[in-house]
Structure 1
Amino acid sequence: MTLHGRALKTLAGPNRRTVVQGIFGLGAAALATPSLTACGAGAASDPNMVTFGSNGGDATPKKAYAAVTSAFEKDSKLTVKTNTVDHDTFQKSISTYLQGTPDDVFTWFAGYRMQYFAKKGLASPIDDVWATIGAGFSDAAKQLSKGEDGKYYFVPLYNYPWAVFYRKSVFKQHGYQIPANWSQFTALAKQMQKDGLSPIASGYGGGDSWSILGTFDYLNLRANGYDFHMSLMRGQAPWTDRRVVGTIDLWRELAPYLQSGGGGRSWQDAAQSLLDKKSGMAVIGLFLGQQITDDSLRSDVDFFPFPEIDPTYGQDAVEAPTDGFMLSRSPKNPDGAHKFLEFLGSAKAESIYMSVDPSNVAVNSAAGTGSYNALQKKSAELIAGAKYITQFGDRDSDPGFISTVVEPGFTEWLNHPDDGSSLLRTIESQRSRFFTA
């Protein structure tokens, strides 16, 4: 499934909540669903075969991966044996899978989730692969592919940005200008409210509380910078830090302009209110496009980067969740696996994938963009120009901490925004449960 469908499972909803233990825990209860088992488990090493564990179980990514592996087989004369498992089962079983006899190469996510398995010794470093593919990636993409030890463990395939989306016709009708900084952004929101619009679409009901993390992340990134934001996400900085207090103050300033009743609305409903011209803006990911089936409507949708708050940091960071590949700790065919990863990180492979699944954007800067729609092209430019790329909420932090502590706290706070002191004390009191020094 591409992000436009997969985001609902990877980043959102009840399914996402049930995978936390499976991703980072080893309890049997967390693995009650059918397990992920390597297709090469127990088999003797075959120098002509590479095994590949894929979470692309839905039709479109399955077809896209098949096109990529077919091209690799043709170029390399090796055979790729693909083990395709549905996305949720893959996540639920990943820990046990990696500790057993996993496939040589497997799909996974950049950021904290990649670094977790690298730190546990459940993945192999691939610096030699990056010596071959490195020229095709930005410094930000290189950084998000490294483990805590500074070695490479990840090969990116595609990503997508979070930004502030709007309809061009609404801005033209009212004469709105794209805001570049915080004062212009809040002034625009105030004017939209006067014009009878809900300034910022909001929907975080049910399993969609994840959707509010995008706003928090951008407020913190813009006000306090990438380094502090990542320290906070990794459990290295206290949530009672004055900088987090300042972020909450900014969010409270924005709160009156959020669409009312967000706690009873899904993210899809919030997105639809933007498309229906009931809301003026939405802080959301490119997967908004899955709500659009009409090309004329798609051409009327645009976005701008989240506005600057502190000029020291400007708009240098972009939230761009990234999916790609890792190498298992003891691949049966290490030479073949390294060749496969080099191919997967090539512009050719990414272009082939995007030609079948055009709902994301390629990470390799040399990948073809001829098939991209306008939103994809602009997304690629935004990401390519970023100094820093963050992964979004629980991809940059411990998923259990975010899902059981941070998100419920934010959700309750948004119902009655105050100075946030109680909220932040509560979150801070739980930090040590998930992060160790």
Structure 2
Amino acid sequence: MTQQSRIPAAGGPGRRSVVNGLMGAGAVALAGPALAACGGGPPAADPKTVTFGSNGADATPKKAYAALTAAFTKESELKVKTNTVDHDTFQKSISSYLQGTPDDAFTWFAGYRMQYFAEKKLASPIDEVWETIGSGFSEAAKQLSKGADGKYYFVPLYNYPWAVFYRKSVFQERGYTPPATWAQFVALAKKMKKDGLSPIASGYGGGDSWSILGAFDYLNLRANGYDFHMELMRGDVAWSDRRMSTVLDLWREVAPYYQSGAGGRSWQDAAQSLLDKKSGMAVIGLFLGQQITDTALREDIDFFPFPEIDPAHGTDTVEAPTDGFMLSRKPKNAEGAGKFLEFLGSPEAEGIYMGVDPSNVAVHSKADTSTYNALQKKSAELIGAAKHITQFGDRDSDPGFISTVVLPGLTQWLGHPDDGAATLKKIESQRSRFFSG
């Protein structure tokens, strides 16, 4: 799984324009044909068919989306023609796809990623859909579904929290207590290292450098608050700001307790070290559960919120990437697509999806949670109690800036963490290439 989705700050991307190409300078060149050529639906409008572009090519999400479209067809008698493309190709081709002949509805991410295409007029507002589904979603969910113009452009399906995961049996055997504050967290890491464990599992080698953003985001959110974090993500604050030095100082404090060799390890291997009781904790998403097939092992996994750093900000923000659906700019079957999106925003639809894919939790407040495992139930409670929901670094900001500037800078710094001033200055020197205004 890769990370790419968060709640927009007031004003959103309209306060600054992303430059140097549709997805920003340094973004991956768009492949285009693989996605665009398959989509578009029938050459002429077919009132009985809705076309749907999906990035759920892996076995489990593909099966879950198939269950959704079958249920919609049974309920509405409208056929859904699904165009499924693998996750990475979908993302690399999305701009060309949306500018060509896209499907009526398509899968995408909440927050900035959604706002960006809404601002570029490559998606249609769906306020009428929200008149039907709105009562089932929290204010936080509504916020992350709106464009910078205040209109709705997104229907959430599921999300999953990032937190600090651990094995209950390890904590019980060694007498550890889940920490609530930063001082307690650092003290626990020291104790784990003394006890022969790698305190914090970590793997950001190869294409997994995105995984460090979970820790970075939480450090910034806990130390500097939600508003500052979102301003930073949208290019409105300098990376050389003194508050960013605080973030790296905190990170440097726990760097000695990261698993050695993290730069050459995948996130899956790091997660496995937690499952194998070689590491004590992991800052990771609920998708950790994808690696677990044994029920007893799954029941031994637990998590606690990333600890409080500044009481002024507490733990009121939860990193919970949210996936869902959008409507293309000129859908061939606008009426049918609207009905499809209304269905996808129903508690029944979310229940159908989660019944096939238990590695996520439903966003709808009335979704059936009776079949949730313990981790899903706790995840839903954590997200539901959040004052703010962020998505993830490369979903809340320009993805080109994050992938070509921020991640190389931070991963290099993590290999040899110093005072961070040079790293922050280097990142700041590139900010204007991606943001203007």
| Partners of 1:9 and 1:88 within 8 A in 2 | no
* TM-score normalised over the length of structure 2: 0.92
Q: How big is the alpha-carbon RMSD for the aligned residues of Structure 1 and Structure 2? A: 2.1
Aligned to 1:143: 143
Aligned to 1:394: 394
| Partners of 2:28 and 2:92 within 8 A in 1 | no
Q: Following superposition of structure 1 onto structure 2, how do residues 188-207 of structure 1 map, counting pairs within 5 Å?
A: 188-207=188-207
| Partners of 1:22 and 1:30 within 8 A in 2 | no
Aligned to 1:4: none
Distance 1:97 1:243 in 2: 39
Aligned to 1:156: 156
Q: Following superposition of structure 1 onto structure 2, how do residues 30-179 of structure 1 map, counting pairs within 5 Å?
A: 30-31=30-31, 34-37=34-37, 39-41=39-41, 43-179=43-179
Among all aligned residue pairs of Structure 1 and Structure 2, give the percentage whose two residues are the same amino acid.
Answer: 75
The one of the two structures with greater contact order (alpha-carbon pairs below 8 A, sep at least 6) is 2
Q: Following superposition of structure 1 onto structure 2, how do residues 285-304 of structure 1 map, counting pairs within 5 Å?
A: 285-304=285-304
Q: Following superposition of structure 1 onto structure 2, how do residues 254-403 of structure 1 map, counting pairs within 5 Å?
A: 254-403=254-403
- Structure-2 change in CA distance of 1:407 and 1:101 (3 Å): same
**Structure 1: gaps of 5 or more residues:** 1-6, 12-19
| Partners of 2:109 and 2:324 within 8 A in 1 | yes
Query: SS of 1:236's equivalent?
Result: coil
| Partners of 1:42 and 1:101 within 8 A in 2 | no
Measured against aligned partners, the alpha-carbon deviations of 1:78-113 in whole angstroms (never above 9, x if no partner) come to 222222222222222211111112111111111211
Query: SS of 1:30's equivalent?
Result: coil
Measured against aligned partners, the alpha-carbon deviations of 1:252-302 in whole angstroms (never above 9, x if no partner) come to 111122122211222112111111211111101111112222211111110
- Structure 2 letter corresponding to 1:372: Y
Aligned to 1:244: 244
| Partners of 1:50 and 1:79 within 8 A in 2 | yes
Query: SS of 1:281's equivalent?
Result: strand
Query: SS of 1:210's equivalent?
Result: helix
Corresponding pairs, count: 423
- Structure 1 letter corresponding to 2:245: V
Distance 1:272 1:251 in 2: 23
* TM-score normalised over the length of structure 1: 0.92
- Structure 1 letter corresponding to 2:404: T
| Partners of 1:221 and 1:229 within 8 A in 2 | yes
The Cα shift of 1:371 comes to 2.1
Distance 1:21 1:89 in 2: 18
Distance 2:27 2:377 in 1: 43
Distance 2:42 2:28 in 1: 22
| Partners of 1:104 and 1:334 within 8 A in 2 | yes
Measured against aligned partners, the alpha-carbon deviations of 1:362-398 in whole angstroms (never above 9, x if no partner) come to 1111111122211111111111111111111101111
- Structure 1 letter corresponding to 2:292: I
The Cα shift of 1:28 comes to 11
2:427 paired with 1:427: yes
- Structure 1 letter corresponding to 2:275: L
Distance 1:225 1:41 in 2: 45
The Cα shift of 1:49 comes to 2.2
Distance 1:175 1:27 in 2: 47
Aligned to 2:404: 404
Measured against aligned partners, the alpha-carbon deviations of 1:15-69 in whole angstroms (never above 9, x if no partner) come to xxxxx99966899963176343354456222222222111122332222112111
Distance 1:391 1:29 in 2: 24
The Cα shift of 1:336 comes to 1.5
Query: SS of 1:207's equivalent?
Result: helix
| Partners of 1:165 and 1:282 within 8 A in 2 | yes
